[in-house]
Amino acid sequence: MMMTTKLTLVCVVGLILLAGAAPAPLAGSVASGAASPAKPGSSTRAEGNEKLAGGSKPAATPSPQIGSVRVPPASERWNTRAKAFGGIEWVSRPSRDAVMGFTQPMEVEKVEVVGGQAVKRDQILVRGREGEALAALQVQKIRGSNRGPVDAAKANAELAQIRFDAAKKAQADVAMSPYEFQERRLALESAMASLVNAQAEFKQEQERIKQAEETVERYRVRARFDGIVDLVVAEAGQTTDIQQPVIRVVSIDPLWIELPVPTEDTLRLNLATGTVASVLLDVPSDKPEGEILPGKVLYVNPVVDAAGTRRVRIELPNTKLWPAGTRARVKFDSAKSEPAQAKAATKEGA
């Protein structure tokens, strides 16, 4: 019986060993976890997704770029006018451009202007929560206008002077002891020192008014020049961090154009401050040649850059308030300059 049981166990173990000795799956089969070789002409799902994502789409055409400024594609009208005009193509920019914010963390109380509004120098654009600062300013103005301590010190000094004069007369008549005389002399000196101290404190209180006014100004954002509000990014109740931009103001009359001019051309044309320039702007115009404005050179960079050019700044009047950032073509007239024309006009007038 025991022998039969042992034989049975041996058979079972043998069958188990035979089952575990099955051949390993081939490389590339599903059991190995590797992908099977792709058939010729077929594509994987990932490749198909790539094609759907953009492989079959044409590449987007980037916007044209002049220097570091991206501009919209030029119209056929502009291309025709620019070709006839010649010169160097660049883009215009504001002559003044200020992105402003508060110099301390602030809660915005009121925005006084809107985008596109014309503003004047020192006009308040945005107000912070300034109630506490205004109250402190009013308190300081009261202190700074209070002359009571000075007047009291002045009266005490006059009284001490009178008592001392009387003491000198009494001393001459030998009617006062030396001790009492010295006491009145010291009282006069003390009164005079108190007067000087009261006057100094009064001046300090007046100076603190200016300090309080400057504190109030930190709660306000003012325009630093005449211009136009370009962008407002603050709302009443919003909190802003230090130097976080809240508003942008630009001045586009006059316009500036800062373009790189080959060094050889700057020397050949003798470009300098006052040199006359003609500027063609890419703006609507009924004139066949387009809108051409007179300009003048404000600045020629004395240093040549790595590209062999010098930066030249052109200023042109913009009474029609054409927008900044438009395409422009610039030509220089080396034979004319504003100083030379002014001298000629002076001679003619004489």
Q: Rounded to whole angstroms, how far apart are CA atoms 290 and 77?
A: 9
Distances (CA, A) of 239 to 20, 104, 130, 288: 73, 11, 13, 52
Enclosing H/E stretch for 91: strand 88-91
For tokens 């056929």, what's the residue? 76
pLDDT for the residue numbered 73: 79
Residue 52 is classified by DSSP as I
pLDDT for the residue numbered 243: 80
Q: Rounded to whole angstroms, how far apart are CA atoms 256 and 112?
A: 28
CATH 2.40.30.170 matches 76-95+252-341: yes
Q: Name the token pair of 19.
A: 């089952």
Q: Rounded to whole angstroms, how far apart are CA atoms 298 and 270?
A: 14
Distances (CA, A) of 188 to 15, 129, 165, 176: 128, 50, 10, 17
pLDDT for the residue numbered 177: 87
Residue 5: pLDDT over 80: no
pLDDT for the residue numbered 76: 87
Higher pLDDT, 25 or 112: 112
pLDDT for the residue numbered 121: 97
Q: Rounded to whole angstroms, how far apart are CA atoms 299 and 170?
A: 81
Give residue 293's pLDDT band: very low, low, confident or very high (50, 70, 90). very high
pLDDT for the residue numbered 72: 67
Q: What is the pLDDT of residues 177-203, one digit of tens each?
A: 889 989 999 999 999 999 999 999 999
Which of 265, 327, 254 is CA-nearest to residue 296?
254
Phi, psi of 123 (to 5 degrees): -70, 140
Beta bridge partners of 247: 100, 232
Where on the phi/psi map is residue 211: left (φ > 0), alpha (ψ -120 to 50), or beta?
alpha
pLDDT for the residue numbered 70: 65
Give residue 294's pLDDT band: very low, low, confident or very high (50, 70, 90). very high
Fold of 97-129+219-246: OB fold (Dihydrolipoamide Acetyltransferase, E2P) (2.40.50)
Higher pLDDT, 349 or 129: 129
pLDDT for the residue numbered 56: 41
What is the sign of the dihedral through the CA atoms of 222, 224, 228 and 231? negative
CB-neighbour burial class of residue 167 (10 A; exposed 0-12, middle 13-18, buried 19+): buried
Residue 325 is classified by DSSP as T
DSSP three-state, residue 153: helix
pLDDT for the residue numbered 338: 52
For tokens 């630009």, what's the residue? 250
Is the pTM for the entire model greater than 0.75?
Answer: no
pLDDT for the residue numbered 172: 82
pLDDT for the residue numbered 75: 85
Q: What is the pLDDT of residues 273-288, one digit of tens each?
A: 999 999 999 999 999 9
% of the chain residues with pLDDT over 70: 75
Higher pLDDT, 144 or 60: 144
Higher pLDDT, 174 or 81: 81
Residue 65: pLDDT over 90: no
Where on the phi/psi map is residue 226: left (φ > 0), alpha (ψ -120 to 50), or beta?
beta
Higher pLDDT, 243 or 301: 301
Residue 325: pLDDT over 80: yes
Residue 108: pLDDT over 60: yes
Q: Rounded to whole angstroms, how far apart are CA atoms 244 and 101?
A: 6
